[in-house]
Amino acid sequence: MSAGSPPARLVVLLSGRGSNLVALADACARGELPAEIVLVAANRADAAGLDRARERGLAALALPSKGLSREEHEARLVAVIEQARADWVCLAGYLRLLSPSFIERFASRIVNIHPALLPAFPGVDAQAQAWAYGVKVSGCTVHLVDAGCDTGPIVLQRTVPVLDDDTPDRLAHRILEQEHVAYPAALRMLLSRPWRVEGRRVIFS
Ligand code: GRF
């Protein structure tokens, strides 16, 4: 995005607490991110992240996936994302795997944050996986989303030490602090600098 262009329109998808949504919303509000959140959608009506969105005056929508096929649910999701005229889809604790056709539709415009240094510890409970494995450094990864599980090209990573007296919860807390820095920073880079994907590598020029 160049100076004077309109802010990028972000749709945030979540399933739970919404602390990364809050970090993105705060960064937008502080003018640190050339973007606005035009919709927050959750696949669970009880996702606390929807309350966080509403508290901030953001449009928030529950699109429950329960009882629907993946196709039916994604068709509804695509409809609201397109209606919101989204430029980017930001996954922030969205606990559903997206289909290849959804990913193709928003190709190179879907980002995710994962609480480990990918490609180590993809999938659920990444912080506990890293703790149990005994790594001495962990962190978080912001990546473009492809059809695999946490396999897309990496945009940005931040590290944290794993301490001898850590528990999975303490480690998760330390990683989460870095997630709240990494997600806005990665989006800022994607929105404000030219970039391309070469092989698996995201290159900023
Ligand atoms: C974060 O740890 C994120 O990395 C993972 O899901 C969690 C979401 O947390 N994908 P929150 O809902 O943003 O607080």
Residue 65: the pLDDT is: 87
Q: How far is the CA of 93 from the centre of ligand 1 (A)?
A: 4
Distance 61 CA to ligand 1 centre (A): 18
For the chain, percent of residues with pLDDT exceeding 70: 98
Active site residue 114: yes
CA of 26 to the centre of ligand 1 (A): 16
The two tokens of residue 118 are 């990918």
User: Which of 12, 129, 176, 180 best tests ligand 1's pocket when mutated (most atoms within 8 Å of CB)?
Assistant: 176
Distance of CA 137 to the CA centre of its chain: 22
Closest C-alpha among 57, 8, 41 to residue 187: 8
Sign for the pseudo-dihedral over CA of 117, 118, 119, 120: positive
Using pLDDT thresholds of 50, 70 and 90, give the confidence band for residue 17: very high
| pLDDT above 70: residue 3 | no
The pLDDT confidence band at residue 2, using thresholds 50, 70 and 90, is: low
Which residue in 73, 114, 143, 180 is the catalytic one?
Answer: 114
| Any ligand 1 atom below 6 A from CB of 178 | no
Ligand 1 site, residue 154, Cβ cutoff 6 A: no
Spatial distance between the Cα atoms of 168 and 139, rounded to a whole number of angstroms: 13
